[in-house]
A and B are shown apart, each in its own frame.
Chain A
């Protein structure tokens, strides 16, 4: 099966759900990139292009939602979480209105556009807003399934999506998306690896690399970063006593921080964080950038070995 970008899954899901549900979709002149254009073409009366004015778009979304029904608002993560931060906070977070902020092009895998467009701070910015649910799917199956579940959930959601095609992990026929639930994909007693987004397929690669070295890890996918499934996280941390968190985000404020906040309170454990080390990104092919910043299966495997005190 070919790799699929989660933005494509989102675009397909909107198109399919558009028949079933009566929501409205907004975009800020990026409908081709965010894939909301598919919905726009089929349901032009329920699509509003807000032009290059993301702050206005977020408050418009709140105004529409205040009259009833769900609104999906899409742009790149850097503009959704960055430029329009305070509109998201006050018009959507504070009001608790039913707006789904579906932000594509998150993380380093934006690629060639470089640092100005690579949002490595959005998980941090969004999860600190009260009322905000933060979801970051790991593959096509999960992203597609999540769209219907976040539609059904009444309240603000930040949905983090990528531009870069990623391997399909979950089986389309059997997969069920449970908002708020972490998913253990591999079981192993030496170390627990918590991952989100594109890093989940990398964590699965690390599982294979380490297994060949006689090290057994658990891989737990965290698609819902807020509210965090603390019960599952504590359970795996308590079992393994060694924790690594992998995310395509700054090591400050993202999933790694969320796991640390959880474990420092409920199960003090040393946590190693794999992510972008408090620096801006740069241009390059997405796959090359992942390698450059160590966001790979071997990068995660190295972090596990270091945590376990195993020399490479």
Chain B
């Protein structure tokens, strides 16, 4: 990945972060921590990796994306808005009664959402379904999914891991958002799912570690695990709350919206970041 592409993706991710923070602030509800930790992976997929023929998010040959950790949907919705699949102005209706932007992704209400998710583990299995359907129907699309580290405590994650491996779904790439935090605290204290790389290796997956906030590294890892005769997973080391200093690595920001001054501080940090990456692009 060249430097120009990296800068372009940095700008897209920075735009997404500004938008998702606003959406959560206006809703006074939602999950900033996991949204900020997944934002760069989603930016990489939507603004670089995934193919949308005719820019159509319903095209049968498009690549699929499933946000299995559906609570991080502010990051997905902001990507869809920056992509132009939904109006940016709608983001501030997130989670409100009159809005189609549900608290967790709804494929029937939101243009560009490939699968309704929210109940952890189910999206991963659905992504396996999309991938095996592609095999059966000889379609060339790829299926991408993001799962959480806390989510990996769900038994269904391992049912899906077994299924994808058994059917050699090498048209499936999963990103594991490893920020080490879940609602109640550190994953290693609550219910330790590690070592996740070793577990997925044992389940027969192509496993690569990456920095979940480094686009070139995400691309390197994605290429290493794609179409290798078995399903691929990129274990992404991430920072929960990435980009907002007081949210970073603090599990208390898993599912809490910032108020007044907190919002102003967060907004300024994310706006500064956006300005700085934009300057980098122009330099």
A residues sitting closer than 8 Å to B (CB atoms) are 24, 45-46, 48, 50-51, 53, 55-56, 58-68, 86-87, 90-91, 94-96
Contact = CB atoms under 8 A, between A and B. Distances in A.
B60 A53 contact: no
B163 interface: yes
Contacts of A68: 60
Given A90-B118, A90-B122, A24 B133 contact: yes
A90 B119 contact: yes
B130 A56 contact: no
Nearest to A89: B119
A56 B116 contact: no
Contacts of B130: 63-64, 66-67
B238 interface: no
Interface stretch (B40-48, B86-94, B154-162, B256-264): B154-162
Interface in B109-168: 114-116, 118-119, 121-134, 136-137, 139, 155-156, 159-160, 162-163, 166-167
Contacts of A63: 66, 115, 125-133
Interface of B: 60, 64, 66, 106-108, 114-116, 118-119, 121-134, 136-137, 139, 155-156, 159-160, 162-163, 166-167
Contacts of A51: 162-163, 166
B102 to A, nearest CB: 10
A67 B108 contact: no
Contacts of B159: 53, 55-56
Contacts of A56: 125, 128, 156, 159-160, 162-163
7 interchain residue pairs of minimum CB distance: A63-B129, A59-B125, A56-B159, A63-B126, A53-B159, A60-B129, A67-B133
Contacts of B66: 63
A275 B118 CA distance: 37
B129 A62 contact: yes
Contacts of A61: 129
Which of B66, B123, B163: most chain A CB closer than 10 A? B163
B132 A94 contact: no
A87 B119 CA distance: 9
A48 B132 CA distance: 9
Contacts of A50: 163
Contacts of B125: 55-56, 58-60, 62-63, 87, 91
A96 B107 CA distance: 10
Contacts of B166: 51
Contacts of B121: 55, 59
Contact of B133 (A53, A58, A64, A91): A64
Contacts of A48: 132, 167
Nearest to B155: A55
A48 B136 CA distance: 10
Nearest to A68: B60
Contacts of B155: 55
Nearest to A91: B122
Given A95-B107, A96-B108, A60 B132 contact: yes
Which of A45, A61, A87: most chain B CB closer than 10 A? A87
B151 to A, nearest CB: 13
Given A53-B162, A96-B108, A60 B136 contact: no
A139 to B, nearest CB: 33
Contacts of B114: 66
Contacts of B162: 51, 53, 56
